[in-house]
Homo-oligomer: A and B are copies of this chain.
Amino acid sequence: MERLTIVKVGGKVVEEKESLDLLLDQFAQIRGKRILVHGGGSLATSLAEKLGIETQLVDGRRITDAATLEIVTMVYAGLVNKTIVAGLQARGCNSIGLTGADLNVIRAVKRPVTTVDYGFVGDIMEVNTSELRLLLNEEVVPVMAPITHDTKGQLLNTNADTIAADLAIELSNYYTVNLFYCFEKKGVLLHPDDENSVIPELSYDRFKELQTEGIIKEGMIPKLDNGFSAMKNGVSQVLITNPNLISMARGTRLSLKD
């Protein structure tokens, strides 16, 4: 099968023009079919602040009331997505910005209220790639914002790491998929303060050990859960890395071996 590279990028990388430009330079050099999935970093939080809307996070996940949904739709699907699309066009990549509502690529449901009411947060139910593959066949580069819909007209704020993993899993039916999670660090660190302590290969058992030991924590846990879910469901390669290391395919490689 033909290779497809899916790069997920978030955090500080998308917040600042300089780091975003560097990421786009690197991404534009990837050969073959590509998809870029982005988050919005703290840009939504800072717009909310300016508008006097309080941001509430539970376990790093944003509580999304109606006003916050408008903000993330504006920031993620508008500002960040279109800045990336224009930046890729300038680098010769014919890109197209999408949310899960566009082409009905991702159908989600509003997360059921249990102990926490996350508001307009979506849990992914279905990924539809027929028109997406048509675009990939034309060498178009889809750029996915972390917004989905419920097919009944409701937009939903959805975790970008999960979107990247679920897209990768569905598309592994058609392509040999490499999934790169890009962030500020060079990979998963054994010693959080030592940038050079990158774990080159990480098995699921070792991940769970390091989680128990408190070495892997916070946002890295759902990211790795998503990555291992992708590995277990047909994705060929998952790498946790830095924009600078994409071309060398270096970082932390997830492994299903014990």
A167 adjacent to chain B (CB < 8 Å):
no
**Interface residue from B78, B131, B134 paired with A79 (Cβ < 8 Å):** B78
The complex places the Cα of A101 from the Cα of B96 at a distance, in Å, of: 8
Q: Is there a chain B Cβ closer than 8 Å to A196's Cβ? A: no
4 nearest A-B residue pairs (beta carbon): A78-B78, A74-B74, A90-B153, A74-B78
Q: A86 contacts B155, CB within 8 Å?
A: yes
- Per-residue contact bits, chain A 61-97, to B (CB 8 Å; 1 contact, 0 not): 0000000001001111111011101110110001111
The residue from B47, B86, B134 contacting A101, defined by CB atoms under 8 A apart: B86
Give Cα A138–Cα B131 distance, bound, in whole angstroms: 8
Size of the A side of the interface (Cβ < 8 Å), in residues, is 41
CB pair B131–A135 under 8 Å, yes or no, is yes
> Is there contact, CB below 8 Å, between B74 and A75?
yes
* A31 interfacial by beta-carbon distance below 8 Å: no
Task: Find chain B residues with CB under 8 A from A50 CB.
Answer: 51
* B-chain residues with CB within 8 Å of residue A86 when the two chains form the complex: 101, 149, 153-155
Query: Which residues from B are CB-within-8-Å of A102?
Result: 82, 85, 95-97
Q: How far is the CA of A78 from the CA of B71 in the complex (A)?
A: 9
Pairwise interchain contact B94-A152, C-beta atoms closer than 8 A: no
Which B residues are in CB contact (< 8 Å) with A96? 98, 102-103, 131
Least CB distance, A135 to chain B, in whole angstroms:
7
